[in-house]
């Protein structure tokens, strides 16, 4: 696997992780209760993301080797899906609430379970990884690529939310993220649209 391919995988996973939504708000809320709660939410969320990435890779592997025509159709549909979520990110105007529900410091185990649950109960994450990873898999798949796809998704997501916790608890960036949720979402949406256009051009070559 080339370094350039790894960078592409890394960046796409990062764009997905930093996209504002309920997960970001949950981690920030828990981080405001205690830094440990933020860290444990990040770890739980990252593990759930890793599981979804693993399920996606296994499913795509089966399609690639047994139903290749269906796999190609899925690649086309996944590019359309990336374009769609990019458009949704740009046009969405709903404002999420950044509110600390109470002043009690939660048990870190609860924070871990909350981070894990909010990701594992979101089936759109599985669709996202199926859409993204269908662009990287082929008949020439190897275990190194598959491992990289799963581990990168998990580690990038986990590290992003750990960094977010530090930014909120140590540097006091809570209001920075809250005020710029719309802007961050629109930037990520534009990036997804750009990625989908590039992938479609490559597919049609």
What was the pLDDT predicted at 113? 93
Domain assignment present for residue 6? The answer is no
Domain assignment present for residue 51? The answer is yes
Domain assignment present for residue 68? The answer is yes
Domain assignment present for residue 37? The answer is yes
What's the total number of domains in the chain? 1
- Across the chain, mean pLDDT equals 84
Is pTM beyond 0.95 here? no
Contacts of 53 (CB under 8 A, 6+ apart): 129, 133, 149, 150, 153, 154
Domain assignment present for residue 3? The answer is no
| Residue 144, pLDDT above cutoff 90 | no
Three-state secondary structure along the chain? CCHHHHHHHHHHHHHHHHCCCHHHHHHHHHHHHCHHHHHHHHHHHHHHHHHHHHHHHHHHHHHHHHCHHHHHHHHHHHHHHHHHHHHHHHHCCCCCCCCCCCCCCCCHHHHHHHHHHHHHCCHHHHHHHHHHHCCCCCCCCCHHHHHHHHHHHHHHHHHHHHHHHHHHHCCCCHHHHHHCHHHHHHHHHHHHHHHHHHHHHHHHC
Which residue reads 């916790």 in tokens? 165
What was the pLDDT predicted at 164? 92
Domain assignment present for residue 111? The answer is yes
What was the pLDDT predicted at 107? 82
- Average pLDDT score over residue span 122-146: 80
Range of the domain at 198: 20-204
Domain assignment present for residue 9? The answer is no
Domain assignment present for residue 125? The answer is yes
Q: How does residue 139 score in pLDDT terms, banded at 50, 70 and 90?
A: low
């Amino acid at each position: 696997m080339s370094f350039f391919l790894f960078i592409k995988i890394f960046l796409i996973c990062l764009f997905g992780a930093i996209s504002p939504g309920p997960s970001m708000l949950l981690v920030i809320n828990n981080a405001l209760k205690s830094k440990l709660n933020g860290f444990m939410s990040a770890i739980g969320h990252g593990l759930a993301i890793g599981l979804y990435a693993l399920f996606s890779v296994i499913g795509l592997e089966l399609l690639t080797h047994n139903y290749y025509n269906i796999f190609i159709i899925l690649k086309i549909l996944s590019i359309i899906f990336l374009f769609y979520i990019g458009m949704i990110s740009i046009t969405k105007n709903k404002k999420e609430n950044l509110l600390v529900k109470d002043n009690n410091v939660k048990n870190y185990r609860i924070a871990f379970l909350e981070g894990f649950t909010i990701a594992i109960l979101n089936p759109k994450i599985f669709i996202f990884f199926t859409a993204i990873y269908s662009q990287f898999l082929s008949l020439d798949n190897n275990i190194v690529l598959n491992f990289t796809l799963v581990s990168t998704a998990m580690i990038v997501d986990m590290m992003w939310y750990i960094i977010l916790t530090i930014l909120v608890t140590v540097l006091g960036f809570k209001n920075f993220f809250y005020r710029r949720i719309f802007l961050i979402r629109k930037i990520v949406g534009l990036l997804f649209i750009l990625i989908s256009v590039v992938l479609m051009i490559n597919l049609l070559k």
